Chains A and B, each alone.
Chain A
Amino acid sequence: MQIDRRLVSSFDWPLWTLSVGLALVGIMTIYSATCSVNEECSRYLATRQSYWLIIGLALMVATFSVDYQRLAHWAYPIYVAVVILLALVLIIGITSGGSQRWLDLGFFALQPSELAKLTLVLVLAKTLCYYEPGYSLMDLGVPLLLSAPVVGLVLLQPDLGTAGVIFLIAMAVVVMSGLRVRSLLYLTVAAIAALPVGWQFLKPYQKTRIWTFMNPESDPLGAGYHVVQSKIAIGSGRLWGTGYLQGSQNRLEFLPEQHTDFVFAVFAEEWGFSGCVALLAAYALLILLALRVVRRAQDRFGVLLATGMAAILFWQFTINIGMVTGLVPVVGIPLPLISYGGSSLVTTLIAVGVLISVSMRRYTR
C-alpha cells in the first residue's frame, strides 16, 4: 500500500494521546487495586494489562493502516464469524459442566461479546449508509435482522448488561443514519412506556430473579452491597483524595470487583473529586474528539462507522460511572480503557483505531 503523506500529516494525535493516556491511568489504578492489607502489592494484573495494551496498540496500528472502506468488504464475513463465536461460547458454556479439557482448548481469554460490539457497528454502518435520510420505522427490518442474533446470543449467556449496551450502540448508529425524528420519538415513548408496565407484571420473586439475572456475580449476602461499598469508597475520597496507593477501602478489601468493573471507585477514593473531574473531562474530550471525526468524515459509511465507535466509548463510560456511583443498576459493564480485561482493552483500542482511520482519510478522496 502506498503511503500518502497527507495520511500521516492528518493523523489524529489528540485522539491517540488521550486514549493511550487513559489506558496508562488504567494500569496505574489496577496496580493500586490489587494491593491488599496483608500482602504486598501484586504486579501481576498490572503487568498483564500492560501486555494487553501493547497488543491493543499493535492492533490499533493495523486497524488504521487499512482504509476503512476495505472494512466494508469484510463486514459480512467478520459478522458471521463473530456470530459463530458467540454461539460457540454458549455451546462451550454448556459442556463446561461435562469436560474440562474442552474448555482448556477453548478461546482462552477471548470475550466474543466485546468483538460483537465492533462487528455490529461495522455491518450496520455498511447497511445503513445506503439509506436515504428520513426513513421510517418500517425500513428498519434489515438492521433489526442484523442486530437480533448478536443481542440475542449475548442475552442467552446471560449478560443483560452487555446486550443492553450493544443495543444502545446500535441505536446510536441508527439515529445518526437518519431515522425519521418522529419514528425515533415513537420508539422512545414506546420503550419508556413498556418498561414500568412490564415491570409491574412481574411478581416480586421474578423481580429478584431478574436482578440476579442481570448481575449473576452479585454477592450472595444481600443486594446493594457492591453499590454501598463503592459509594463509601468514592465519597471518602472527598475533594483531594487519599493519595495514590492510600485508599483504605480498597486496601481493606471492602470493595468488590475492585480491578474490573469497580475500578473507578478505587481511582475516586485515591484522587478525590478533583481527580475524578479530570478523568471525566478526559473521557468527555475523548468522545467529543470522536464526534469531531464523525463531523469530518467524508462519506456516509465513515460517518456511521465513527458514530458507532464513539457510541461504544460513550455508553460504556456513562453506564459504568453511573453504576459505580449508584445511579444505574449493577450490570457488569467495564470502564473502557481503565478496567482490567484484555478483550475490553483491545476492543476499545481497535475502536479508537477505526476512528483514527476515518480521521486520517478525510482528505484523501
Chain B
Amino acid sequence: MLRRPNTRALPEFRRRIRLFALCVLVAFAFLTYRLWVLQVLQGNRYTVMSEHNRIRLQRVPAVRGLVFDRKNRLLIHSRPSFDVQYVPGGNAGQEDTLRRLAEMVEVDGERLEEIAQGGNGAKRVTLVRDVDWPSVVAVETHQLDLPGVYLSVRARRSYLTDEVAAHMLGYLGEINANQLQRLRRQGYRLGDAIGQAGLEKSWERHLAGRSGGEKVEVDATGRKVRVIDRHKATPGHNVVLTLDMDLQQVAHDALKGKEGAIVVLEVNTGAVLALASSPTFDPNWFARGLTSREWRHLTDDRETPLHNRALQGQFPPGSTFKIVTALAALQEGVISPNKTLWCGGSYQVGNRTLRDWKKDGHGHIKMHQALVQSCDVYFYQISQRLGVDKIARYARRFGFGSPTGISLDGEGPGLVPDRAWKKGRYGTPWYRGETPLVAIGQGFLSVTPLQMASMTATVANGGTVYRPWFVKRVVSPDGEVMEEYGPVRTGTVGLKKENWDIVRRALFDVVHGRRGTARTARSEVVGIAGKTGTAQVAEMRGDAVKSEDLPYEVRDHAWFVAYAPTKEPEIAVVTLVEHGGHGGATAAPIAKQVIEAYFLFDGEEAEHEEPAGRQLSALDVRPPPRTDHAD
C-alpha cells in the first residue's frame, strides 16, 4: 500500500489550484474573444468569403496498376466510367431536359424525374451511373439542350476475366475506419477504394499508387471550373502474375456447379499456375456497387462464394495423406516395403473397431499395393508402430499445420495433431485409437488444398518445400522492373532416395496400375501419378453407407493430388470437390482435364510466343485506356 504522506499539507495546493483555475478562465476568455472577432466582428466578411469560396482542394486519385498473367495478358485495368449528374433548381424546362436525357441514355424518364426530385435539397444528384459510350457522346454533344446536366468521370476497376480467378485477384471496397486510421499518413481518405481481398488487398501497396492534389476553382454547385495548381498523382505499379489464364479457365470450368478448389503449382519453383475456388463471384460487382440480391448471394452461409476454399478452407485430407504416412514409416524403418501385412477389412485398437473402406479387406498386402489400392488397415497397422508424434513431425516438415506463406490474406494453418497439442487443447492424453485415424488423413487432422499441392510438389521434386507464390514481377508504369520474384525454399524433407522412389512408383500405379484407385485419371497425353482421397465429413457408425446415398451435407469430400509427367515432373495439381463422394470418381477426372490442358497449351505456346494477341474467350485484350482523373 502506498503511504499517504503530507495529508495535512493538502492546503498547500490551494494557491496552485486557484492559479490553474485562473488559467482555465483566461483560456476560455481568450478563445471566446477570438471567436467574437471571427464570428461577430468579421462574420460578415467571412460570410462573403464563404459565398465566393471558389478555391477548393481536391484530391486526384492515383490510377491503379494493371495486372497481367504470366503470358502478359491483361486481367485487370481501370477504365473511365461516366456518371450523369444533375444540379436541380434554376433550370427552365426541367421536364423536357430529363425527357431528352432519358432518350439519350435509354432509361425511364419518370425514374430520372424521381431521382432528380429525391435529392433532398442536395445540390447535385447522380442520375445514372456508368453510362455507355454512345450515351456519353450524345450527352456531351447536346450539352446546350441539357441545362443542369453534367458528366462526371472517374476510374472504375474492371476485371476482364469476370468470375475467373476472382479469389486470387480479389476486389476493391470502400476503406473502413480501421484501415483509414492506419493508412491516413499514406494519403488515404474516407470514401477511397482499397483492396479488400486477394491480390488487390495484399498487393495494395504496389498497385495503389499515391493520390495527388489539385487546387481548383469551382462554381457555386461545386463544379470544377479551372485548375489553379496541381500536384500529380503517382500511378500504381503494374503486376505480372505467375498465373496462366488458359489453365485457370480450364480449372474454373471444371469446377462449375461444384463446390471445391483446384491448385496447380510448378513443381520446381512453387509458382502458382492456377488456383480456383468454386463457387465464385464477379469482382466487377464490387466495382459498380452491389445490389442487395448480389450481396445476399455472396454472403450465403452454405455456398460462401467469397471464401477462397483453396487456402482458407480446411478439410480432412483423407487417404491422400497416406503419402506422408508411408514416407514417414519407410524413413523411420518401422516397415519394410517387402513386408506383407494382413488386411481383413477391419482393425481392432483397444475396444474400438476401425473399418477399411473395402468391407472384405484387401487380403495380404505390401506397401506398394497398400498405396495403390488405398488400403486403410495396412496404414492403421503401421501407424501403431510409428506413433502420432512421428507422423506429426513428418507432416510439419511438408508444411502442414502452418500457413504456407503465400502472399494472400486469411490463409488457414490447418491442424496437425500430436500428443502435446491434445494435452494443451483438451487436457486429455492421446489415445492409441486416434493415431490410425490421423494416418489415413482423418481425425483431428485438417489441411488446405494449397498445403496439399505444396506437399505433392515436394514429393514430385524429391524433397524441396517451396513457398507458393504468384506474383512474378512488379513493373512501374514506364516499364521499369521494380521487383522481381522467384522461388523461395522454406524447407527440405530429406529422405532416402529409395523411399521417394517406392512412393512415387506407387503413385504412378494409382493411375496406371490394374487395381489403382484413380484409373479415371489415366491420360493419353502424359503420364500422371497421384493419390485419391475420400474424406469423411461425418463419422460413420456401423456399416459403411455408400456416400451417394447420404444427404449432401454429410457426403464425403473427394480429393485427388497428382503430378505430371511422372518422369521429371513439371506440375502438381490438387483437386478437391466438397461432398463430391469418391476421390477417384469425382476429383481424379477433373485433375486429368487440367493436366492435359497444361501439356496441350504448353505445346501450343511456342507458336504463339510473340504475337501477344492470343485471345481466350474470357480475355478481352485491349490496350489500357487512358483514364482521365475523376472529377
Contacts and interface: CB of A to CB of B under 8 A. Distances in A.
Interface of A: 34, 37-40, 44-45, 48, 69, 72-73, 97, 100-101, 103-104, 106, 108-109, 111, 126, 129-130, 132-133, 172, 175-176, 178, 216-217, 219-222, 225, 229, 231-239, 248-249, 251-254, 256, 259, 268, 272-273, 276-277, 280-281, 283-284, 287-288, 291, 294-295, 297-301, 303, 307, 310, 314, 318, 321-322, 325, 327, 341-342, 365
24 contacts: A37-B123, A37-B124, A38-B126, A45-B177, A73-B2, A101-B202, A108-B182, A176-B13, A178-B16, A232-B50, A232-B53, A233-B50, A234-B39, A235-B45, A236-B43, A252-B56, A287-B24, A288-B21, A297-B10, A300-B4, A300-B7, A300-B9, A303-B13, A307-B20
A303 B10 contact: yes
A365 B49 contact: no
Contacts of A233: 50
B32 interface: yes
Nearest to B34: A325
B105 interface: no
A231 B38 contact: yes
B409 interface: yes
A246 to B, nearest CB: 10
Contacts of B201: 100
A237 B205 contact: no
A259 B181 CA distance: 13
B190 A34 contact: yes
Nearest to B49: A232
Interface string B5-31: 111011011101100110111011001
Contact of B205 (A40, A48, A100, A111): A100
Contacts of A294: 13, 17, 20
B32 A310 contact: no
A98 to B, nearest CB: 9
A221 B201 CA distance: 30
B184 interface: yes
Contacts of A284: 24-25, 27-28
Contacts of A272: 39
A42 B190 CA distance: 11
Nearest to B28: A284
Given A248-B50, A268-B39, A273-B36, A280 B31 contact: yes
Nearest to A239: B40
B28 to A, nearest CB: 4
Contacts of A221: 57, 213-215, 229, 231
A304 to B, nearest CB: 9
Contact of A299 (B4, B120, B123, B214): B4
A219 B187 CA distance: 10
Given A232-B53, A238-B43, A295-B13, A220 B202 contact: no
Given A298-B10, A300-B10, 20 more contacts: A40-B122, A73-B2, A129-B2, A132-B6, A217-B185, A219-B213, A221-B215, A231-B38, A234-B39, A235-B45, A238-B39, A251-B123, A273-B43, A291-B21, A295-B13, A299-B5, A300-B5, A301-B2, A321-B31, A325-B35
B125 interface: yes
A356 to B, nearest CB: 18
Contact of B44 (A69, A225, A238, A283): A238
A40 B120 contact: yes
A237 B40 CA distance: 9
A108 B53 CA distance: 38
Contacts of A295: 13-14, 17
B1 interface: yes
List the 8 shortest-distance A-B pairs measured between CB atoms, nearest first: A235-B46, A238-B43, A236-B50, A284-B28, A273-B39, A236-B47, A299-B4, A220-B231
